[in-house]
Amino acid sequence: MGFRQAIMLLALALPALLAGSSRADDYTQESLRLGADYLRWQTSERNSSRPTGPTTSQPPPREPTPSPSDASPRRPADVATRANIAPAYGRQVNAGDSAPIGDVSLAQLEETAQRCNPVLVQAAARVEAARGEWLQAGLYPNPRTGYVASEINDEHQAGQQGAFFGQEIVTGGKLQRSRDAAAQVVRQAECALAAERCRVLSDVRRAFYDALVAQRSVELTDQLVRIGNEGVRAAESLQKAKEVSRVDVLQARIEADSARILAEKSHNRHQAAWRTLAAVTGAGDMQPARLCGEIQDGLVRWTWEDALQHVLCDSPTLAESQAGVARAQAVLARECAGRIPNVDLQATMQYDNATRDAIAGVQAGVALPWFNRNQGNIRRAEADLSAAQADVRRVTLDLQQRLAAAFEQYQNARYQVEKYAAEIMPNAQASLDLVATGYRHGEFNYTAMLTAQRTFFQVNLAYLEAIRDLRSASVAIDGNLLSDSLQQR
């Protein structure tokens, strides 16, 4: 059902509504209440100091034992620490998790997503795998031992029998440098975990507000069905009074049936929005419940400078790229240390059966770096470092490019919401009240009433759409432009 049909339905129902029904005022009062709430939020934001981007405070990530080297840059570690999630990822989803009781808030859904979303389980497992690689990278080579015999059957004797012990001595600090490189891999995995967390929370918030708008749409379309039924009765009464023709009655019935179709579509859309919300929270069998909250609650009034600083300082993808530079530097240091050969030591202890003497021996050896001085690996590591440094610049520019589009949407939606709340909606309401009063006293004709009703209805729909766009853009900026958590990467 389009705007024109909806307006006709409301206009046909108007005589009965003006006669004493108050149901048609419900949506009007709800829209004006939303506008007043937004004006109060706007006033409080203007009177407050300039906000900064939202931050999260989380317990520090668990480090392997012993801990990695502190030679890594502070930025990846800081971001990974702020975005680290409590170790409850592997928790089994049970019936209690997927059957909320009573109204459901955004905070409850976010908590459920952090426990149940499999993306976070995967990312946390990758962090543990990286910590295992860090631990392995610093382990010293195992010693060697074995049996040794020489001069066997010399003078028909057993010869010299004994054992040997060997150990490779790692030189040049190779183990520490290997562990430094592995520590940066851990940092990258932690930043990837933080990025997945941002994606999950952004998806949950966006799906929550979509479902909340769908919930409001269900309430509105159900109200339109009631108004349509009242419009049919009003048209039939007017036909009996010879004020309208049978065509108007048939039109009222058509519009009432169209309202029922629109209501059915709204219910289906609400179900789809809830199923999407259940999927991104990780509890796919979660049963629908009423969502509590307002779509304008918690909005941050961003400026371009604040949004850009927030994204560049708190983006886990940029932090992961910076950790990649530190990792490349550590790998280059490790390959340079690889030019120093390790020392191979070996000691032997034997018994000479011919002379009945105990014999000891010692061997020490190194590889002479004449041909292989690890120059190929060093060259590769230098190229990897150059590429990693360029990737930081690329990610920075990519964030700025994507933020430009998101901020444009945010600015447009914010301007529309402010304009509708401050001027357009009050003017539309005042115009409708004046025309309705004049129509009741015979001062305005049916066409004037229809025009005022159409204007008011379109204004309310545009205002609701603007708030939805504003919320979507704000969620994107809050979430560091990360989304689509369930997409495989």
Domain of residue 223, residue span: 3-478
Percent helix / strand / coil, the chain, rounded to 5? 65, 10, 25
Please report whether residue 8 resides in a domain: yes
- Three-class HEC string of 10-44: HHHHHHHHHCCCCCCHHHHHHHHHHHHHHHHHHHH
Structure tokens at 164: 């040997």
pLDDT tens readout for residues 389-447: 999 999 999 999 999 999 999 999 999 999 998 999 899 889 988 987 886 776 775 55
Please report whether residue 485 resides in a domain: no
Q: What CA–CA distance (Å, rounded) separates 26 from 15?
A: 17
The confidence score (pLDDT) of residue 259 equals: 79
Please report whether residue 393 resides in a domain: yes
Picking from 205-214, 316-325, 404-413, 448-457, which range would have the lowest pLDDT averaged per residue? 448-457
Give the total number of structural domains in the chain: 1
Structure tokens at 126: 């990758």
| Percentage of residues of the chain with pLDDT beyond 70 | 75
Q: What CA–CA distance (Å, rounded) separates 415 from 228?
A: 34
pLDDT tens readout for residues 282-315: 988 888 889 998 877 778 899 999 999 999 999 9
Q: What CA–CA distance (Å, rounded) separates 259 from 22?
A: 19
Structure tokens at 236: 């039939």
Please report whether residue 483 resides in a domain: no
Do the beta carbons of residue 438 and residue 444 sit within 8 Å? yes
Q: Is the pLDDT of residue 97 over 50?
A: no
Residue 146, H or E segment: strand 144-150
- The pTM score is 0.73
For residue 109, give every residue at least 6 positions away whose Cβ sits within 8 Å of its Cβ, in sequence order, or none.
Answer: 204, 208, 277, 281
Torsion of Cα atoms, 102 then 106 then 112 then 115, to 10°: -160
Please report whether residue 488 resides in a domain: no
- pLDDT average, residue stretch 31-54: 47
Q: What CA–CA distance (Å, rounded) separates 155 from 152?
A: 9
Amino acid identity, position 46:
R
Q: Is the pLDDT of residue 381 over 60?
A: yes
DSSP 156: G
| Percentage of residues of the chain with pLDDT beyond 90 | 47
Do the beta carbons of residue 256 and residue 229 sit within 8 Å? yes
Please report whether residue 484 resides in a domain: no
Which CATH number covers residue 273? 1.20.1600.10
Structure tokens at 55: 């931050």
Amino acid identity, position 360:
A
Closest CA to 114 of 317, 318, 299, 283: 283
Please report whether residue 142 resides in a domain: yes
Do the beta carbons of residue 114 and residue 200 sit within 8 Å? yes
Q: Is the pLDDT of residue 96 over 50?
A: no
Q: What CA–CA distance (Å, rounded) separates 435 from 18?
A: 12
